[in-house]
Amino acid sequence: MSTWVLRGARVAGSDAAEDLVLTDGVVSGRAPAGAADVPAGARTVDADGLVALPGLVDLHTHLREPGREDAETVETGTRAAAAGGWTAVHAMANTSPVADTAGVVEQVHRLGVEAGWCDVRPVGAVTVGLEGRRLAELGAMATSAARVRVFSDDGHCVADPVLMRRALEYVRAFDGVVAQHAQDPRLTEGAQMNEGEVSAVLGLAGWPSVAEEAVIARDVLLAAHVGSRVHVCHVSTAGSVEIVRLAKQRGLPVTAEVTPHHLVLTDEEVRSYDPVYKVNPPLRTARDVHALREAVADGTIDVIATDHAPHPTEAKDCEWAAAAMGMTGLETALAVVQEALVDTGLLGWGEVAARMSAAPARIGRLDDAALGLHAHGRGLAVGEPAHVTLHDPAARWTVEPAAQQTMGWNTPFRGRTLPGRVVATFLRGAPTLLDGRLVDPDARA
């Protein structure tokens, strides 16, 4: 029998310090700090001053494998996830080959199991090859060993309204969700950054807010029309927030996510011409950042997701126009969220747990053990799976790309001092990270 006792942690959503007992993969006990019985042979963690969150669940991760192992592998990406406090990630479909068949999603799922750092739930492509011409094998992926429930052409928008309608109708049969990359392709042809004052000064082609907002408005109406679920990836504008808020007030079946970087960075960063700030969707204005923070606080935005997008050095160490879009984020996400939302008083840790564990698990149906996969996002009540993230809110650390687990060095926070740091991650009651250091699978007995 394997037992860990986490001494004196403050469980997210509670002000009291408690002992958490993890036995054979489940939360077997909670007691006031210092009061838990410690079984013989149990190992303890001094968690005084730490916040205990249910294991984080990322709804939007790019692991790059198969096909782009020069940028990231399932092994390195999930090591980064464990270091960042994540116990499950949804791996996006824009691999090579694209994850548009049962064979590819099962391969990604198997690679995650073999790596052993966190649970990997593949996202299936909506269309064959992400080309937006015909639907992929949605049913085959849903009934595969990977039990896919989230489908997305992320990186590309499903721009054809008829095809989007057909996808929504199809996934309804198995309670799936279409996660849309909201970007009108015609309105963003050649776009390099947010359209506004800064783009005008720099002479870079602008990416208008309406290119995102028009697609969201269309898709929430389509989802309501067919009675299916739609999820909006990486919302970035104040106008998008208002559309999602109005849709929710009308009871339409829409959920939405925001990235940590869109909660703190603005298009002013682009004045540096540093390609690390080139991302899709682009960094927006301070007004947009304010609206996004408020939307997370009031629940209009359900999920904070990383959109972790590692690239090889040569893809970013070049001139702005030639650089790839994307940023890494698995290892900095919780610290950035603390800075943007917790330290500003907009969210408590209980709400952080809701946005970074419960909601993403619910949207991806990763909280449903009936699917035959490991359940996540169900909280830290006795009897629930022992996925736990221990976070030190008093810590301060400087981001050094070379010290991170991901292969991608393209973090916009390099050299920046952030508040709070993940110190331990438990997956099914076994530590993948302890005292800030990764624990190899063969040392977790």
Considering only 28-42, 83-97, 307-321, which range has the smallest mean pLDDT?
28-42
Indicate the pLDDT class of residue 92, thresholds 50, 70 and 90. very high
Q: What is the pLDDT of residues 266-275, one digit of tens each?
A: 999 999 999 9
Q: Give the pLDDT score at 370.
A: 73
Q: Give the pLDDT score at 415.
A: 97
- Which amino acid, residue 141? M
Mean pLDDT of 56-69: 98
Mean pLDDT of 390-413: 97
Q: Assess whether 298 carries a catalytic annotation.
A: no
Percent pLDDT > 70 in the chain is 100
Q: What is the pLDDT of residues 227-263, one digit of tens each?
A: 999 999 999 999 999 999 999 999 999 999 999 999 9
Indicate the pLDDT class of residue 204, thresholds 50, 70 and 90. very high
How far apart are the C-alpha atoms of 154 and 234, rounded to whole Å?
A: 10
Q: Give the pLDDT score at 443.
A: 85
Count of CB atoms situated within 10 Å of the CB of 253: 18
Q: Is the predicted pLDDT of residue 66 greater than 90, yes or no?
A: yes
Q: Is the predicted pLDDT of residue 373 greater than 80, yes or no?
A: no
Mean pLDDT of 323-351: 98
Q: Is the predicted pLDDT of residue 440 greater than 90, yes or no?
A: yes
Q: Is the predicted pLDDT of residue 430 greater than 90, yes or no?
A: yes
Q: Which of these is catalytic: 100, 307, 367, 392?
A: 307
Q: What is the pLDDT of residues 146-155, one digit of tens each?
A: 999 999 999 9
Q: Is the predicted pLDDT of residue 1 greater than 80, yes or no?
A: no
Q: Is the predicted pLDDT of residue 368 greater than 90, yes or no?
A: no
Q: Is the predicted pLDDT of residue 384 greater than 70, yes or no?
A: yes
**Cβ proximity of 443 and 2 under 8 Å:** no
How far apart are the C-alpha atoms of 278 and 246, rounded to whole Å?
A: 30
- The Cβ-side half-sphere exposure at 45, using a 13 Å CA radius, reads 30
- Cβ density class 287-299: b for 16+ within 10 Å, e for less: ebbebbbebbbee
**Cβ proximity of 65 and 91 under 8 Å:** no
Q: Give the pLDDT score at 294.
A: 98
Residues 6+ away with beta carbon under 8 Å from 261: 279, 283, 307, 327, 329, 336, 412
Indicate the pLDDT class of residue 445, thresholds 50, 70 and 90. low
SS3 437: strand
- Which amino acid, residue 130? L
Q: Is the predicted pLDDT of residue 320 greater than 70, yes or no?
A: yes
